[in-house]
């Protein structure tokens, strides 16, 4: 079925729909492949992290504690700070 489009060109609607279906199908395949690659990277990262923690657990605990302390202090100062009127009194 050929139809005239708004810009004056003749378009075969069935061919156009088949092309759209093909593009969508190819896009789905790319997304599936991309998700598989992301999963592999996440698993690899988790294994590397596990090895590092098992190699030096006390250093890891110290680093995590230090980062948590710094983030806690930053959060407390930004969220817990009083208004400027209270500081002037």
Q: What percent of the chain is predicted at pLDDT more than 90?
A: 30
SS (H, E, C) 32-64: HHHHHHHHHHHHHHHHHHHHHHHHCHHHHHHHH
pTM exceeding 0.95? no
DSSP 3-state assignment of 31? helix
Give domain status of residue 56, yes or no.
Answer: yes
Give domain status of residue 89, yes or no.
Answer: no
* Domain encompassing residue 78: 2-83
DSSP 3-state assignment of 32? helix
Q: Cα torsion for 47, 52, 56, 61, to the nearest 10°?
A: -90
Give domain status of residue 15, yes or no.
Answer: yes
* Domains: count for the chain: 1
pLDDT at 19 exceeding the cut of 90: no
Dihedrals φ, ψ of 34, to 5°?
-65, -40
More confident residue, 54 or 80: 54
Dihedrals φ, ψ of 9, to 5°?
-90, 150
Give domain status of residue 88, yes or no.
Answer: no
């Amino acid at each position: 079925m050929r139809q005239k489009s708004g810009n004056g060109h003749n378009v075969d609607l069935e061919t156009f729909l088949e092309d759209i279906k093909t593009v969508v199908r190819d896009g789905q395949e790319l997304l599936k492949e991309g998700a598989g690659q992301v999963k592999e990277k996440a698993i690899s990262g988790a294994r590397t992290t596990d090895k590092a923690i098992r190699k030096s657990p006390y250093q890891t605990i110290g680093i995590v504690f230090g980062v948590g302390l710094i983030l806690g202090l930053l959060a407390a100062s930004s969220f817990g700070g009083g208004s400027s009127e209270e500081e002037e009194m």
